[in-house]
Structure 1
Amino acid sequence: MANIYDYLAWRGDLGFSKDPLNEIDSLLFSTLAYGEFETILAPSIGEPSHPLTEVDQAYAKVMQEKYKEFDPLGFFGEVPKLLHQAATTKRFANVHLSGFEKQIDFDKSKQFVAMVVTLRKNLHFLAFRGTDTNLAGWKEDLQMSFMDEVPAQQQAADFANKAFESLEGEFYLGGHSKGGNLAVYAAVKASKEQQDRIIAIYNNDGPGFQSHIVESETYQRILGKIKTFVPRSSPVGLLLEHGGDYTVVASRQRSILQHDPFSWEVHGPRFVYEDGLSKGVLAINTAIRTWLTQVSMEERAEFVKGFCDLIEATGAKTLEDITNEKLQSAQAILKAYTHMGKDARANLKKTLDLFFKESRKSIRETILGEIDHLLPKKRPPKSISSEQE
């Protein structure tokens, strides 16, 4: 079961001039966007830029220590190792990074990080980070269920526009998780001339959009350039609408842990593909979609506000804050819930009850379908004519 590290050992000897960017390269750059490079890379796009070898030397030790004790999503701690191994290969050593932009605003529910990867002259990859440990990003994810544009999406469009104006040549865009959504959104908001300079957009297990965005002329114009990859049992990339086909990839993990990009299996320059999604994730997807059809946009907004008000009552800004003070956080949430207005509490309970109801229904139907499939089928009785034969 090879993964992205094995890919580096296999393909690291060939530069991008000899072997063009592929889907594994896209996942690698998308994953490197989780790195904390703000003390190394300036926010200016293009110049000054730094080769990957230089970034690796300045970065490795401090971030290895940072994630040693707290790594809630299970793969942040791998980023320094990935950076180092990539920097030691001929393929990635002279790739240049620039334009590292990071904006975290808890009050505005904005979590945005992106950077420019220059593969060679006039060829660039805009890498967008997915949701990290900042609670602003998690709130922003929930807001996607009812908002046409969340702050990070607007920032992604602005970032891409600056890159198109500052740099010559062609572009790839990509990201993992919410970063994949941001990459697609940035391409949707680009002008036609800018879209023509985009070679491909890689959405690695990132959620989709409201249906009217997918149906828009600008989205349809780039639809053929979007490459969406989802693991067999991860529900993240199935959320909302994509409007196009997706490729199912194999993972060495199970269930939601398949969201981890380091668990994705590779074979040469491609992922290992699966025939389809697991029945479990299809059941979850059905439950979520049914739930969303029964909850209006206004009710979704009220639910997200109520839910996030409870989290904000803890005073936490990151997942680490909550896990470090589990008891105090639980007490603060309970206290905030008891002090919520009657209508807000009723909406929160009603929406959650409806979600769990649809989840149980979908899972039950899936299990019953599996049982029915396994049971021996009764043979039809022989006809009189067949017995006479």
Structure 2
Amino acid sequence: MDKMAGPLDYLRWRGDLSFKQKQYNSVDGAILASIAYLPFDGSIVGHSLKEACERILALYSGSLDLHRKTETRLLVKSPRFADLKILDWTSRLEAEPAPLQFAALTLQLDENTILISFRGTDSSVVGWNEDMIMNYSYQIYGQTVARDYLEAMADKFKNCKIYITGHSKGGHYAIHSLAAARYDVQDRVISALSFDGPGYRSVFAESTGFKRAIDKMRTYVPESSVFGIMLDHPERTLVVKSVYPMMHQHTPLNWSVGRDSFVLAEGLTTSARIIRHALIQFNQSIPAEKRGQLWSAIFLAFENMDITDMNVFTEHRIRGTWTLGKVVMGMDPEVRQVATEMIKLIYQSAKNNYLPFSEGDFSACPKSNDSSKAPIFFESYNFKD
């Protein structure tokens, strides 16, 4: 793997420059989206980001992965970020009335500007359940919560302009909240950045609010994106270089950075294009009702087995496989039948819809790294449900 600079290097290079000296940019947005995953609580409100990060290092250092720990240590030492005041922290994890895994951080960038950072999906089963609902429904409860949060912060800090950022589902919330917000709030938002967020269905992208604010939206996806290509992106989308393997490209901390911006790739890799094609065929071949039945059954089985964290499947492969087997066998026979039918439909979809397996098959679809200049995607989901 060739070494290229990333956001952590940016923290080392440019972390000594205040936002007055060097204005907010996309790499700042990615870093501030990333910190929303830190295990903060309400006690950080009113403190500086440095103080909050020092507390995290003191209490949770042993449970942070290397990237997260390094980022937190660098933030403590960075004049650009360390003195940012934390204005609000909100975190909610609820199974009823609808699955909700939501966290948001509001920071004071300067006397006239605030930034809202939405957390993406964590390891909770509730959070993953919420994500899967997006596969068969264009509405999830968290979208409303995110919009309400944006409007509440806008009302609380009436004289401030607003930046919004988020990673993964948090990126979805960043752009969705802007599009769904009151127009007076939209007008105060400078930009909404999404980092490998899954995208949007046409029913929402065609809304008046989305169209009105689209020039303030921007999405960044890595060149081998999986999560970021699950839905459509009518907003401006840029493809970023990453030297990491596909499954490690979801985090922006593994993306390539130049001086103070991301390095763009040539376009999506062949693997990413194949996956998007397959996802489109899957969603168009299997009705939303059946997809909903399957995901609902799976998460009900998790609940019945008191599984609350998805790490149970990944921390130990053998135990995780055994647990997953118990989940499947614990389903009602009728539900298992639905799952079997879906597997057959997936197979039939792959059989009936040719999946391209080489770059040559995309010869009529040249690569692009900026959707404002040339298309990045050549197929649309066009959901009928």
Does the 8 Å CA contact 1:40/1:58 hold for their aligned counterparts?
no
Map residues 219-368 of structure 1 onto 2, 5 A cutoff: 219-323=210-314, 330=321, 333-338=324-329, 340-356=331-347, 358=349, 365-367=356-358
Query: 1:321-365 deviations in whole A, cap 9, x for unaligned?
Result: 445687676556545534544442222122234335545777853
Shift of 1:261: 1.8
Is 1:87 matched with 2:90? no
1-side partners of 2:360 and 2:175: how far apart? 36
State whether structure 2 residue 29 is matched by structure 1 residue 26. Answer: yes
The amino acid that maps onto 2:63 is K
Distance 2:228 2:161 in 1: 26
Answering whether residue 134 of structure 2 is matched by residue 149 of structure 1, we say no
Give, in whole Å, the separation in 1 of the partners of 2:151 and 2:39: 23
The question of whether the paired residues in 2 share the 8 Å contact of 1:110 and 1:136 is answered with yes
Deviation at 1:4, TM superposition (A): 0.9
- Partner-residue secondary structure (3-state), 1:156: helix
Q: What per-residue deviation string (whole Å, max 9, x for no partner) do you get for residues 29-85 of structure 1? A: 00000011105324xxxxxx2212221222213222123xxxxxxxx5533321221
Q: Which runs of 5+ in 1 are unaligned?
A: 43-48, 68-75, 374-389
Q: Is the 8 A contact 1:283 1:359 kept in 2?
A: no
What's the C-alpha RMSD, in Å, of the aligned pairs?
Answer: 2.5
Partner of 2:55: 58
Deviations 1:256-308 (A, max 9, x none): 21112211010011101012101111011011011111222212211211222
Mean alpha-carbon deviation: is it higher for 266-275 or for 240-249?
Answer: 240-249
Which letter maps to 2:118? Answer: F
Q: CA deviation at 1:97?
A: 1.6
Distance 1:63 1:310 in 2: 31
The residue aligned with 2:67 is 78
Q: Does 1:5 align with 2:5?
A: no
CA change 1:316–1:279 in 2 (3 A) is: same
Superposition map of 1:207-226 within 5 A: 207-226=198-217
The 5-angstrom pairing of residues 81-160 of structure 1 reads 81-107=70-96, 108-160=98-150
Task: Give the letter aligned to residue 62 of structure 1.
Answer: L
Are the counterparts in 1 of residues 281 and 353 from structure 2 also a CA contact under 8 Å? no
CA contact (8 A) 2:195 2:220 kept: yes
- SS of the residue corresponding to residue 287 of structure 1 reads helix
Q: What SS does structure 2 have at the residue aligned with 1:103?
A: strand
1:336–1:13 CA distance, 2 compared to 1 (3 A):
closer
How far residue 319 of structure 1 moved from its aligned partner, in angstroms, is: 2.1
- Residue from 161, 175, 179 that aligns with 1:184: 175
Sort the Cα spacing of 1:242 and 1:354 in 2 relative to 1 into closer, same or farther, 3 A.
Answer: same
Contact 1:135-1:318 within 8 A present in 2 as well: yes
User: Distance between the aligned counterparts of 1:178 and 1:341, measured in 2?
Assistant: 31
Task: Give 1:178 deviation, angstroms.
Answer: 0.7
Change in CA separation of 1:335 and 1:169 when aligned onto 2, cut-off 3 Å: closer
Q: Match of 1:300, SS?
A: helix
The question of whether the paired residues in 1 share the 8 Å contact of 2:15 and 2:79 is answered with: yes
Displacement of 1:245 in angstroms is: 3.1
Equivalents in 1 of 2:198, 2:239: separation in Å? 14
- Write the letter of the residue equivalent to 1:158: D
Q: Residue type matched to 1:242 in 2? A: H
Q: Distance in 1 between matches of 2:253 and 2:196?
A: 13
Segments of structure 2 that go 5 or more residues without pairing to the other structure are 365-385
Q: C-alpha deviations, 1:120-140, integer Å up to 9, x for none? A: 112011000111111111110
Cα deviation for residue 93 of structure 1 reads 2.1
How far apart are 1:151 and its partner, in Å? Answer: 2.1
Which one-letter code corresponds to 2:48 in the other structure?
Answer: P
Give the superposition deviation at 1:225. 0.9
Distance 1:90 1:172 in 2: 20
Q: Are 2:48 and 2:85, in contact at CA under 8 Å, matched by a contact in 1?
A: yes
Percentage of matched positions with identical amino acids? 26
Q: Does 1:206 align with 2:206?
A: no
Q: CA 1:346/1:28 → structure 2, altered by over 3 Å: closer, same or farther?
A: same
Q: Which amino acid aligns with 1:211?
A: S
Partner of 2:160: 169
CA separation of 1:368/1:328 partners in 2, compared to 1, >3 Å: closer, same or farther? closer
Change (3 A) 1:286 1:19: same
Q: Distance in 2 between matches of 1:372 and 1:185?
A: 34
**What are the superposed Cα offsets for residues 149-205 of structure 1, whole Å, 9 maximum, x if unpaired?**
212222111111110100121001110111100111111121111000000010000
